[in-house]
Chain A
Amino acid sequence: MTDNRQGTPEERRKQRFFNKSAATSVKYLRKIDELPHKPASLDPFLNILKHVFVDMQGAVKPAGTLSVGTYCVMVPPELIYAAGAMPVKLCGGSYTAFNIGDDIAPRDACPLVKAVMGFESIGVMPVYRECELMAVPITCDCKKKLAGYLSERRKTVTLHVPTGRSRDGDMEHYVKELYQFSEELTKITGKPLSYERLSWACGLTAAAQYELSRFIELRRRAPLVIKGTHYLAALNALSYTHVSIWTQYMRALCDETERRIQNGEMASKENRPRILVTGSPIVFPNFKLPLLIEEMGGALVADETCMGERGAYDPPAIADQTTDGIMRALANKSTRPCTCPTFTDNKRRVYRIMQMLEDYGVQGVIYHVLRGCLVYDYEYRVLEEEMGKLGIPIIRVESDYNEEDVEQLRIRVEAFIELIKYGRGGDTAVRLRKGQR
């Protein structure tokens, strides 16, 4: 580390930021690394996170590829790849950046958006700096204001997401938004939209989703074969990697997982309570919740969060092989299956979670709410009711981007895991899983 007393105050501040945020990232990377039963093929993913958050380098991509910052899974990456650029998901998880953003955003804003604003205002992280364009879908209120904040500083496109999905007009509206977005992309890359490019880009992401689906199938067969935290890290890495590179890594991970299942090597013991995490996004380095679950003797078998599996889960179903057909498929897959709570009607999220309970034999649900994330908090009650009917225990844990609440979280998570271990929950899950097979 360089001497802090050199340079202007501004430079010193930036240097302090670098040091501090790198230190947090190193700590969490080490914790992830030290979790037992780490597959060897996970290292490339962790190296990506290290590359971006410790070495402070840009996204992992072939030389000369432009980056486009996206702030939600509803921006279809296919469109960006088709324009010859790559998407970087910039939802922030940094505690250091959060502290800076805390002075910019109102007190009750969510920490994720505060972290993004912090990154933007200090302006040193290469992943953020190198983005030629920012794409912000207008989902929750914080994202809306974030879009305004960003557009004062950077070239920003907003995508107006419909709030409902039952009318055909909603989807057609999003198709128009995507066309506009694509025009903006063309302006920065100089490559116009064409069927050939779109189809090529869809092939690129389809390869990644093929490997991801393979992994999901494997995990449905043996939910305990990998630690959920490791899996989350692999999916977080996708946000900062060109998809073709990620696909290769994922393929290796699938192959290793397949071997492990064959040899019966599991990452957790059979008697560990199987936990599903859902709720607000879990963004590296804010990995305290998944780490706590596994440290406290739970097995994180499934996650339903935007930087986790859901981030790359829904594939476009191209029924009409034309430019417009693909655009429609992209608009469709970005909005309709999305379980984001910013939509007015979101029954599908409950169903999705019910399906996951069955697929992974989940015994308890931990509902993660970032302080100030209203929409997710709203949906807790709905989910609690449904889980009550199924007899699956659920708790809501609220956290912020700092390490002060770790001990308190630890107590709650531990109590919850004990409750499942020695109390109710167990047989329901067994019943659910048996019912399916």
Chain B
Amino acid sequence: MKKKVIGKILFAAFAAALCAGAYFAADITFFQFGGEEYQETGAALFTSEWFSAMLPFGLILLVSAVCIALDVLLRKLLYKKKKLPVGKTGITARDKRKKRFVFGFETVRWGVMILSFALLIYGGRLFGTVFTNVQLPVFACPYNLEQLTNAGCYYFSHLDVLFSESWQAILAFFGTFLVCAVLLGRVLCGFVCPMGFLQDVAHEARQALHIEGISLNEKMYAVLRLVKWVMLIIFLGVGFIGGNFCDFCPAAAVSPALAGFKLSLGLGGFIMVIVLVSGFFKRRCFCNVCPLGFILGLTHKLSLFKLKKNAVACTECGACYEACPMGIKSIFTEREGKDIKKLDVTTSDCIMCGECVRRCPENNALAITFCGKKIYNADRMKFMKQYAPKPDKYAPFRGKDKP
């Protein structure tokens, strides 16, 4: 009982601190760079000016790397002292076993992510700002004035500004948002958002180093959900009381810098470090608390992309839940419904990353559909190929495979 009360008080304090931080964010500056004035064009790539614009981002990466290294060291010490189970001490490892490359949805997703990352940052340079009226609802900071499109996050976090615009602008904003949300929904999160991309890169880095992460369970996800509500209130509301979400938005540190725009870093830089470090240890941690993603997910019932499950084919192995970066448990537990062979298990949290389908070992148990057509289907043979060596490499006693 007591623990619960303390937890609640701590959480309230945390939320209050976050709100206060949001309000006074403009005044807290840990790195002042460039002027407060808008820069009209980005610096040309790899010039000294570009490098100086990149400096803040470089610092963020450096600090994140140091944080991660410290964390790993600390855990190693702790585990040794406490004599925790053997497995836990092997925090980092190398693996010589070569994995088989399997082309699939995953490959396509990475392709699209890299492409959209590049386009959102440099697209404007190549093609000019083509879609001036499109407010893509992702965190691609429009401080980078040379974007291909505008980013919807600005108006969402500055609803006061939006409502002082002309009605056409307001209509265009909501119009594009609705079209994006209905057509794509959180597919934008899984495929387009630069913040999502960075977090996935951090996750892949951990996979390559085999450093142990933090696996969350239901209870911890519930805490993240609470944080998300706080974030949402700040995101939508801070503009009305004179604050500015951009002052501590983590995304501000990324795309403008890469595009060569000097920007002073406030609290956002700190938060970006948190995003990267937490994203390293827990896949897409920030996405779990992201307010914009939440708004995008609200229309999931209308979205053309759906996650479908065949409960009869499913063995309830829980692999999908284990793999899901958003911790959606219902995809694994859902088993009753009108048509048990075509259950709709899409939730507002789902970013359509396809990880669950990739890790599902049962034919047809899970599928991502677009307009009712299956575009990615769980397949046992494909699943096994991810893990099994090539048949000509089976004999393990002669090869150097033997440990």
On A, residues with C-beta under 8 Å from B are 62, 84, 165-169, 171-172, 176, 179-180, 182-183, 186, 192-197, 199-200, 202-204, 206-207, 209-210, 213-214, 216-217, 244, 247-248, 251, 314-325, 327-329, 332-333, 336-337, 339, 347-348, 351-352, 354-355, 358
Does residue B337 face the partner (Cβ distance < 8 Å to A)? Answer: no
Does residue B217 face the partner (Cβ distance < 8 Å to A)? Answer: yes
CB contacts (< 8 Å) of A251 on chain B: these are: 391, 394
On whether the beta carbons of B384 and A321 are closer than 8 Å, the reply is no
On whether the beta carbons of B403 and A314 are closer than 8 Å, the reply is no
The residue that B361 contacts in the complex, of A169, A180, A314, A323, with Cβ under 8 A, is: A314
On whether the beta carbons of B85 and A179 are closer than 8 Å, the reply is yes
A168-B218, A196-B96, A203-B388 as given contacts; A336 in contact with B318, CB under 8 Å: yes
A182-B87, A213-B381, A351-B312 as given contacts; A317 in contact with B388, CB under 8 Å: no
In this complex, how many residues of chain B approach chain A with their Cβ under 8 Å: the count is 54
Which B residues from 76 to 102 make CB contacts under 8 A with A? 85-88, 90, 93-97
A191 to B121 alpha-carbon distance, docked (Å)? 50
A172-B217, A203-B387, A251-B391 as given contacts; A332 in contact with B318, CB under 8 Å: yes
Chain B min CB distance to A152 (Å): 27
On whether the beta carbons of A207 and B394 are closer than 8 Å, the reply is yes
CB contacts (< 8 Å) of A216 on chain B: these are: 380
Which B residues from 176 to 225 make CB contacts under 8 A with A? 206-207, 210-213, 215, 217-219
Chain B min CB distance to A411 (Å): 34
The residue that A194 contacts in the complex, of B93, B323, B394, with Cβ under 8 A, is: B93
CB contacts (< 8 Å) of A197 on chain B: these are: 403
On whether the beta carbons of A206 and B384 are closer than 8 Å, the reply is yes
B331-347 interface bits toward A, Cβ cutoff 8 Å, 1 = contact, 0 = none: 00101000000000000
On whether the beta carbons of B86 and A192 are closer than 8 Å, the reply is yes
A214 to B380 alpha-carbon distance, docked (Å)? 9
- B215 to chain A: closest residue by CB: A328
The residue that A209 contacts in the complex, of B207, B318, B329, B384, with Cβ under 8 A, is: B384
A194-B93, A200-B403, A202-B387 as given contacts; A322 in contact with B213, CB under 8 Å: yes
Known pairs A209-B384, A319-B322, A351-B315 / 12 extra A-B pairs, C-beta < 8 Å? A183-B86, A195-B93, A196-B93, A196-B95, A210-B384, A244-B394, A314-B317, A317-B322, A317-B383, A328-B322, A329-B319, A332-B322
On whether the beta carbons of A206 and B387 are closer than 8 Å, the reply is yes
CB contacts (< 8 Å) of A347 on chain B: these are: 335
CB contacts (< 8 Å) of A319 on chain B: these are: 319, 322-323, 355, 359
- B213 to chain A: closest residue by CB: A320
On whether the beta carbons of A203 and B380 are closer than 8 Å, the reply is no
A196-B403, A322-B213, A329-B322 as given contacts; A337 in contact with B395, CB under 8 Å: no
A355 to B312 alpha-carbon distance, docked (Å)? 6
Does residue B71 face the partner (Cβ distance < 8 Å to A)? Answer: no
A200-B401, A320-B207 as given contacts; A193 in contact with B87, CB under 8 Å: yes
Chain B min CB distance to A350 (Å): 9
Chain B min CB distance to A278 (Å): 15
Does residue B397 face the partner (Cβ distance < 8 Å to A)? Answer: yes
On whether the beta carbons of A207 and B312 are closer than 8 Å, the reply is no
A377 to B68 alpha-carbon distance, docked (Å)? 53
A8 to B344 alpha-carbon distance, docked (Å)? 71
A-B pairs with beta carbons under 8 Å apart, 7 shown: A200-B401, A210-B381, A210-B387, A317-B317, A320-B215, A324-B87, A337-B318
Does residue B311 face the partner (Cβ distance < 8 Å to A)? Answer: yes
A180 to B219 alpha-carbon distance, docked (Å)? 25
Choose among A168, A314, A332, A354 the residue with the greatest number of B CB atoms under 10 Å from its CB. Answer: A168
The residue that B213 contacts in the complex, of A196, A210, A244, A325, with Cβ under 8 A, is: A325
Chain A min CB distance to B307 (Å): 17
A355 to B402 alpha-carbon distance, docked (Å)? 38
Does residue B130 face the partner (Cβ distance < 8 Å to A)? Answer: no
Give the A-B pair count, Cβ closer than 8 A. 172
On whether the beta carbons of A317 and B323 are closer than 8 Å, the reply is yes
CB contacts (< 8 Å) of B90 on chain A: these are: 193-195, 323
CB contacts (< 8 Å) of B319 on chain A: these are: 317, 319, 329, 332-333
CB contacts (< 8 Å) of B380 on chain A: these are: 213, 216-217
Which 8 A-B pairs rank lowest in CB-CB distance, beginning with the nearest?
Answer: A317-B319, A195-B93, A337-B317, A179-B85, A210-B388, A319-B323, A206-B387, A337-B315
CB contacts (< 8 Å) of A332 on chain B: these are: 317-319, 322
On whether the beta carbons of A213 and B384 are closer than 8 Å, the reply is yes
A213-B384, A319-B322 as given contacts; A244 in contact with B315, CB under 8 Å: no
- A319 to chain B: closest residue by CB: B323
Does residue B313 face the partner (Cβ distance < 8 Å to A)? Answer: yes
- B96 to chain A: closest residue by CB: A196
Does residue B396 face the partner (Cβ distance < 8 Å to A)? Answer: yes
Choose among A62, A182, A195, A318 the residue with the greatest number of B CB atoms under 10 Å from its CB. Answer: A195
CB contacts (< 8 Å) of A186 on chain B: these are: 86
A196-B94, A247-B394 as given contacts; A323 in contact with B88, CB under 8 Å: yes
CB contacts (< 8 Å) of A352 on chain B: these are: 315
A179 to B359 alpha-carbon distance, docked (Å)? 23
A291 to B365 alpha-carbon distance, docked (Å)? 33
A324 to B211 alpha-carbon distance, docked (Å)? 9
On whether the beta carbons of B88 and A324 are closer than 8 Å, the reply is yes
Chain B min CB distance to A178 (Å): 9
On whether the beta carbons of B97 and A200 are closer than 8 Å, the reply is yes
On whether the beta carbons of B387 and A318 are closer than 8 Å, the reply is yes
CB contacts (< 8 Å) of B86 on chain A: these are: 179, 182-183, 186, 192-193
Chain B min CB distance to A160 (Å): 15
Does residue B242 face the partner (Cβ distance < 8 Å to A)? Answer: no
